[in-house]
Structure 1
Amino acid sequence: MEKRWALKEPQTYVPPTKRPDRKIIRWKAPPRDWTKLNFDSASKGNPGQSGIGAIIQDEQGNILHGLFGGIRVAMNNEVGIRALEAGLRLCIRQRLSRIIIEGDSQIIIDGIRQSSLHNWKLNKWVPMIKEHLRTIESYEIGHVYREGNQVVDYLANLGVGGNDDLI
């Protein structure tokens, strides 16, 4: 039997400074009279010990409120949706009425927008989150790249290995 080899097309290296598709990604402040909720999760394994983090910031970037905590063992997407739920509870407790919500999990953002996640374990959280959102006067929910979510990523990693108490 004859072996055949296929060669890949040669790739041209373009230095990072010359790549037109690259842009600086950073946290963007909310408009005046709005606050921003960023949420994130961290898992050491899937499933594994996990943590959640959430912060609320004003239009100047001042951190108004924040939380982090541990979750014993969970899958990474479950931890992410739990981080969103904890962040929303914090917004409601603080009586915030205009909130921009951002997370770096496209699966969770899309699932909340469509009112359905493609996992039955995650779907049980959707009605609770939708109920929280109904109590908020105005909100927007969207995806942010990891680079724009660094503070809550740090908080979520602090929560890994901790108990279920939120700090």
Structure 2
Amino acid sequence: MKSPSLCVKLNTDGNCYGNPGPVGLGGLFRNDQGGWIMGYAFKVLEADSIEAKMCSIRFGLQTPWDARILDMWVKSDYEVAVKLILQGDPHFHPLGLLIMDCRSLMARPWKCRLTHILREGNSCADFLANLGHNNSGSALLAHPPMGLGPLLLKDLEGLPVIRL
């Protein structure tokens, strides 16, 4: 599925070392040509894997609104989180408040889509989530961090990155 022109794409990921364990969140915003706009990488105290993924999506939904981006396509490699946000019943789920918060952010007056992406196509966000475990400073990144360049190039070329 090709992104519409002028649409900002967000790839997002969250991971935890242990389940539950310390969490790293990461994501990158790119223009319709795949060029870097900004990213984020930071850590939060402790959560399980699904909460980590959903927290990263939630942070990613808030950030573009603050930057006045009005057309965004959010991609996550965790299908369970995507389905919970789009179709889950928040009243009977332990993460119900987080689900409702994500839905509320998506319902703002803008064009916002949330879809699942294969893990092999989300290597840049995975890199940033792993970087988040070591990042104690500011969450927002104006420039791609050292080491992300080769993954960005592969992504621009449409090449998958196989993670073990």
Q: TM-score, normalised by structure 1?
A: 0.76
Partners of 2:17 and 2:74 lie apart in 1 by: 25
Instruction: Select which of 147, 151, 159 maps to 2:120.
Output: 147
How much does 1:31 deviate? 2.2
CA distance in 1, matches of 2:70, 2:121: 23
Unaligned 5+ segments in structure 1 are 1-27
Report the count of equivalent residues: 140
Bigger radius of gyration, 1 or 2?
1
1: CA distance, partners of 2:48 / 2:73: 26
Partner of 2:143: none
| Residue 63 of structure 2 corresponds to residue 90 of structure 1 | yes
Q: Is residue 2:132 matched to residue 1:159?
A: yes
Cα distance in 1 between the residues matched to 2:91 and 2:135: 29
Deviations 1:49-75 (A, max 9, x none): 110001111111111111111012110
* Alpha carbons 1:98, 1:139 under 8 Å: kept: yes
Query: Per-residue deviation at 1:30?
Result: 2.3
Percent identical: 25
- CA 1:134–1:150 in 2, change beyond 3 Å: closer, same or farther? same
Q: What's the CA shift for 1:120? A: 3.0
- 2: distance between equivalents of 1:63 and 1:45? 31
Q: Does 1:45 align with 2:54?
A: no
Partner amino acid, structure 2, of 1:82: C
Code of the aligned partner of 1:124:
L
SS in 2 for 1:124: helix
Residue correspondence of structure 1 range 40-79 to structure 2 within 5 A = 40-79=13-52
Instruction: Give the TM-score of the pair, scaled to structure 2.
Output: 0.77
Unaligned runs of 5+ in 2: 141-164
List, as ranges, runs of 4+ consecutive aligned residues in structure 1 with deviation greater than 4 Å. Answer: 161-165
Corresponding letter in the other structure for 2:99: V
